Amino acid sequence: MLTTTIRAHAKINLSLDVLYRRVDGYHELESIMQSLALHDLVTLTANPDAEVRTLNPTQLIRVTVDNPEVPSDEENIAFNAAKILMRRSGNYMPLQIAIAKNIPVEAGLAGGSSNAAAVLWGLNQLWKLGLTPAELGEIGQKIGADVPFCLQGGTALVGGIGEKVTSVPSKCKDFGVILVKPTFGISTAEVYRSLDLKKVVHPNTLEILDAVVAGDLAGICANLGNVLESVTLPQYQTLVEIKEALLQAGAQGVLQTGSGPTIFGLTSDLEQAQGIAKKLEGKYPTVIATTFWGKGQETA
């Protein structure tokens, strides 16, 4: 048996700008993404000695998840990642993927994308494929927009539809983060369909970038921006209330991550984040205190 367990880290968007709608129907993005200490555990177990009578990955791959909200069939993008890499490498063998979820589901935190990235990253090691980060990123972008970033992790400037990932040197590793997710989910596709780029206020990505490089929390908080809030905040008063509650509880800056519905608050350290989280527990169904993290995937 071959086995490995990977920590698959969540992410937030410190900025999310949509520059224009492309001719292919996708949107050209510009975002600063940040990995979090919060992570799922993805365990891969392959049996290279098993007798195999099929070259159909669907019959060889099995996914188990400890959260009933997450599919365990081909609708799970971690399953899809394994299928693509199995076909590409020719390693047709029974493969078990066990996912222990800590990242909230459908939250804008890239939980699914991070799981898919963990499968690509882990199988590349387990099967000794020798794929470069660039090659893994090319595979990842075919699976999901956030997968290339989740493969690299840390702090990065992300462009295109998510495939352009440029690592950013950061002094922000100890900053605290409070994540607050309401009961409802939000359709990413619907948010983008409703986005009116003529009415949005674009974030100053360069200002945030400078603040991140300098480790300037005040500068980051002063320039946080996500154009998708122009769609979600008018539609969901709860998100406005969460942002206000985080600020009143002591967060120095607040923003929606991705297309939502999770709102995050920033503090100077984990202890402050934990104190704010305690104030909000019970008021909202999901409240998590965590920190910035320097990696997207790592062996557990």
Whether 246 contacts 213, CB under 8 Å: no
Amino acid found at 7: R
Known active-site residue 66? no
Q: Is the pLDDT reported for residue 148 higher than 80? A: yes
Give the domain-ending residue among 123, 146, 169: 169
pLDDT at residue 28, as a whole number: 87
Give the domain-ending residue among 154, 169, 184: 169
Known active-site residue 101? no
Mean pLDDT of 169-184: 92
| pTM across the whole model | 0.96
150 and 228 fall within a common domain: no
Domain of 211, CATH number, reads 3.30.70.890
Mean pLDDT of 109-118: 97
Tokens standing for 150?
């989740």
Tokens standing for 1?
């048996």
Considering the candidates 17, 146, 181, 243, report the single residue annotated as catalytic. Answer: 146
pLDDT digits (tens, 9 = 90+) for 215-245: 999 999 999 999 999 999 999 999 999 999 9
pLDDT at residue 227, as a whole number: 97
Whether 299 contacts 4, CB under 8 Å: yes
> Nearest 5°: CA angle at 162, between 160 and 166?
85
Q: Give the span between the Cα atoms of 20 and 246, in whole angstroms.
A: 31
pLDDT at residue 277, as a whole number: 98
Amino acid found at 98: A
Domain that holds residue 287: 176-291
Instruction: Determine, yes or no, domain membership for 96.
Output: yes
Residue 172 — very low, low, confident or very high, per pLDDT cuts 50/70/90?
Answer: confident
Paired residues of 265 in beta bridges: 178, 254
82 and 108 fall within a common domain: yes
pLDDT at residue 26, as a whole number: 80
Q: Is the pLDDT reported for residue 25 higher than 80? A: no
Mean pLDDT of 189-213: 92
Tokens standing for 214?
């300098």
Q: Is the pLDDT reported for residue 24 higher than 90? A: no
Length of the chain: 300
Specify the 3-state DSSP secondary structure of 54. Answer: coil
Mean pLDDT of 259-277: 97
103 and 86 fall within a common domain: yes
Considering the candidates 11, 83, 101, 243, report the single residue annotated as catalytic. Answer: 11
Q: Give the span between the Cα atoms of 153 and 79, in whole angstroms.
A: 21
158 and 17 fall within a common domain: yes
